[in-house]
Structure 1
């Protein structure tokens, strides 16, 4: 009997030692030992590496090019051209007129010209391009602000998943402690195998929850890396922390800040400015336009075979030779001096050679024996009178777009005002919920302590302990959800207000 008493006393001492372990001494699961990552680093990486963000920024390249083109459009346009041609030999005709056999010809030409146009639309084009560029930049700023909010929300979600995994690990330790207590009671004869089996079931369920929460944490971390545009190691440690504080801002101040700083509203207003400029550009169609041109031309028209040209020249000289002889006969009869007709004698080889040399000298060399033409300059003015109401249609379409843009700004401002007020209410509600959930968790922890004490003393069964453990686990998870719901609502409110509220 003394041996049984000693064993029972030792068992009771063991039970007291197990029950004396304070609940607050349980530590969360150790943080990953990988590289650290702050919220600021995550946001900076997303701005730099996110593919969608980079694609949005590419749009500014087109608008910058449009601004440069609009400014350069005030410079005169210059063009240079060159061409080459060939005409076969044959009889040239024009209607019923026949101009005889023509040789083959080779031609080349060059053209250098300057032109300048000035119109109302051109005068407004730089302003229109600049307003469109500003609208694009505002739209990109809005997209970037939305990306920053997504990164903040996902960063908080990863922290929440990590806290849930740590809570699940603490729950495993509590179930193991209850399992040890149930085994100890069974050993001293004050417990039952059913109590042990219940404790083992609760411990198994807690271990399953740990595995699931760890998977959730890894999945959310991968989603964060996707937003950042990088591959995050599973061991990455999130270093930023968030304090729970009461939101005491005035709704009017937040609404005023949102209307002044919200990127979405700023982008809508920039679009309205671009639409207004588009209306002025459409109205410029009623203004006259001026056009100036200056050009220089050089050309070559060279015969491939000069024999037909020589024959034409000699044929003309034969008539001149006959006329000269007749004139000399008349002048001799009158006793006047006669002219030298030998220069027209085509039968003279010297004359024929002289004619060939003249034709060769007058035939320019192909392709670069250009003959420059006189400088040409012109100016014209055009005043549109009637174009079938096309101008009126374009002006009306531009006015409709401007009106739609103004209405869109009004609608967005109204939605923003409502969303800011709603977001503030959500943050205040989340704060009060987190405070109440913490009280519930404290009460649940005290309930579990009392249930364990009653179970140790034999005043309660294991069901009471497992129920208390379940309620404490639910309360701890509710605290985590409430706290991070508050931080998410605060991040959403910051995105609406367009500034930091922490």
Structure 2
């Protein structure tokens, strides 16, 4: 919708005094033509979607939701654990009831193990569905945050445009007061005016200059606030595009139906209601059995720090074995029994055995000896756990009822907000037509008052009053024009999606 605020007031100014008004009109239009950096409403909304910090925080929730879904899916995969450790043991025996145990050689050891566990239950299945519903609710929350940011940017954009329109109005009224001051001085020179009229005109002109200054400052401040809502630093020299899209014709039943289907806040509550229902089912699954599967394997290796001690022990062991063999065979020989005394002479600690011991110690720490692996399965059926299952079920039921009540409350809120915004939009559109009629009447009255003052039919007080009536009427018209856009933005915000 084109907002012709500037053209109404300029037409009045040109009708008053073309020679005096032209410089002021050019000055009022200078900001729009001196800078080529024009920020449209569509551009502002695009920048806000990329840069608004509040919206960025809402989007970050998507990562948490995705991580929760992955964790819920992981409940159907086995958990795998591995470990690797090392240790040192001093070469000293441990005594128990007077008996010595353990090696007297310092020892290094390493061990490794791997295990897998899988637990399956109906509760895990429902937990996964609940988390998926929460993820969809998070997406709806992000959409709701986008709608809120969009509504804030649109309202601030309209506020900035209205402030600029009011600034243009004050510029034009300053042209009018300047022309009235010149006319009062001219009448005083020809003897048809008074010094009091001149002074009143000077006061009116000074007050209008103050109003112009404040209006310009307000317009600049509102543009800065607009950049704050967008989420970026202000860009000097930026002008706003007053050409806003037209408001489409809408029917209340279709808008209400669209809101019930598309409102993101309502959608998020529906998803959380589904999540609460799944959590209740998960709590009830505590009465059903669960299946557990486990598997594991481990291995170890060790090394004695003093290899010579091992060799000496092995050599002594071989010598002791040889001596024992000889004694046994000699006894058999004396008893004239069959014996193998010659074989005892072959028992000896060989260099090859010594090298084997040294090689075995050199393979530490990765030459593992595997322990037997294990696989097990278990079926667990809880019978009684101190009423904790019943407590969890009751809590889940309360959460489900609360979620249902929240959804119902939001449905009523959406219906009320959409209906109120729709009625407000119709009222604002009718108000614009009435205010435009008021402006035309006030402009005609001001033009007539200027002509009557020019010929001396009225005094300056009546002319100032007519100018004030026009200023109020034009200000109200500007407000009504932007109220239409605000009402439409409020309707879009209530629906939860753009309507054009």
TM range (shorter): 0.7 to 0.9
The change in CA–CA distance for 1:332 and 1:243 in structure 2 (over 3 A counts) is closer
Measure the CA separation in 1 of the matches of 2:174 and 2:458. 22
Indicate if the aligned counterparts of 2:106 and 2:305 stay in contact, CA closer than 8 A: yes
Spell out the pairing of 1:332-347 with structure 2 (5 A cutoff): 332-340=333-341, 343=344
Question: Aligned residue for 2:301?
Answer: 300
Indicate if the aligned counterparts of 2:161 and 2:242 stay in contact, CA closer than 8 A: no
Indicate if the aligned counterparts of 1:328 and 1:339 stay in contact, CA closer than 8 A: no
Question: Aligned residue for 2:357?
Answer: 360
Question: Aligned residue for 2:456?
Answer: 458
Matching residue within 354, 375, 378 for 1:377? 375
Measure the CA separation in 1 of the matches of 2:371 and 2:103. 27
Deviation at 1:337, TM superposition (A): 2.9
The change in CA–CA distance for 1:395 and 1:313 in structure 2 (over 3 A counts) is farther
Measure the CA separation in 2 of the matches of 1:105 and 1:234. 77
Indicate if the aligned counterparts of 1:86 and 1:104 stay in contact, CA closer than 8 A: yes
Question: How many corresponding residue pairs?
Answer: 480
Matching residue within 408, 433, 436 for 1:435? 433
Measure the CA separation in 2 of the matches of 1:38 and 1:463. 43
The change in CA–CA distance for 1:358 and 1:382 in structure 2 (over 3 A counts) is farther
The change in CA–CA distance for 1:430 and 1:244 in structure 2 (over 3 A counts) is farther
Indicate if the aligned counterparts of 2:16 and 2:176 stay in contact, CA closer than 8 A: no
Matching residue within 112, 115, 118 for 2:114? 112
Deviation at 1:319, TM superposition (A): 8.4
Spell out the pairing of 1:473-492 with structure 2 (5 A cutoff): 473-492=471-490
CA displacement 1:326-346 (0-9 Å, x = unmatched): 6633x445432334288389x
Question: Aligned residue for 1:7?
Answer: none
Question: Aligned residue for 1:408?
Answer: 406
CA displacement 1:261-320 (0-9 Å, x = unmatched): 222211221221222222222233333222223333221133333666655884796588
Matching residue within 27, 46, 49 for 1:47? 49
Indicate if the aligned counterparts of 2:144 and 2:496 stay in contact, CA closer than 8 A: no
The change in CA–CA distance for 1:293 and 1:153 in structure 2 (over 3 A counts) is same
Measure the CA separation in 1 of the matches of 2:47 and 2:436. 35
Deviation at 1:384, TM superposition (A): 2.0
CA displacement 1:128-181 (0-9 Å, x = unmatched): 332111111100100101111111111111111111011111111111111121
Measure the CA separation in 2 of the matches of 1:341 and 1:313. 20
Measure the CA separation in 1 of the matches of 2:352 and 2:50. 81
Measure the CA separation in 2 of the matches of 1:32 and 1:465. 32
Compare 317-326 and 371-380 and name the one that shifted more: 317-326
* RMSD after superposition: 3.2
Spell out the pairing of 1:86-485 with structure 2 (5 A cutoff): 86-99=88-101, 102-242=104-244, 249-305=250-306, 310-311=312-313, 314=316, 318=320, 321=323, 325=327, 328-329=330-331, 331-340=332-341, 343=344, 351=348, 357=354, 360=357, 364-365=361-362, 366-485=364-483
Measure the CA separation in 2 of the matches of 1:299 and 1:236. 74
Measure the CA separation in 2 of the matches of 1:362 and 1:389. 62
The change in CA–CA distance for 1:355 and 1:480 in structure 2 (over 3 A counts) is closer
Deviation at 1:212, TM superposition (A): 0.6
Deviation at 1:485, TM superposition (A): 1.6
SS at match of 1:162: helix
Question: Aligned residue for 1:32?
Answer: 32
Unaligned runs of 5+ in 1: 1-16
Question: Structure 1 length normalisation: TM-score?
Answer: 0.86
Deviation at 1:214, TM superposition (A): 0.8
SS at match of 1:102: coil
SS at match of 2:392: helix
The change in CA–CA distance for 1:501 and 1:469 in structure 2 (over 3 A counts) is same
Indicate if the aligned counterparts of 1:321 and 1:344 stay in contact, CA closer than 8 A: no
The change in CA–CA distance for 1:450 and 1:358 in structure 2 (over 3 A counts) is closer
SS at match of 1:194: helix
Measure the CA separation in 2 of the matches of 1:450 and 1:244. 35
Deviation at 1:420, TM superposition (A): 1.8
Deviation at 1:452, TM superposition (A): 1.9
Measure the CA separation in 1 of the matches of 2:308 and 2:416. 95
The change in CA–CA distance for 1:148 and 1:377 in structure 2 (over 3 A counts) is same
Question: Structure 2 length normalisation: TM-score?
Answer: 0.86
Compare 489-498 and 109-118 and name the one that shifted more: 109-118
Measure the CA separation in 2 of the matches of 1:361 and 1:500. 82
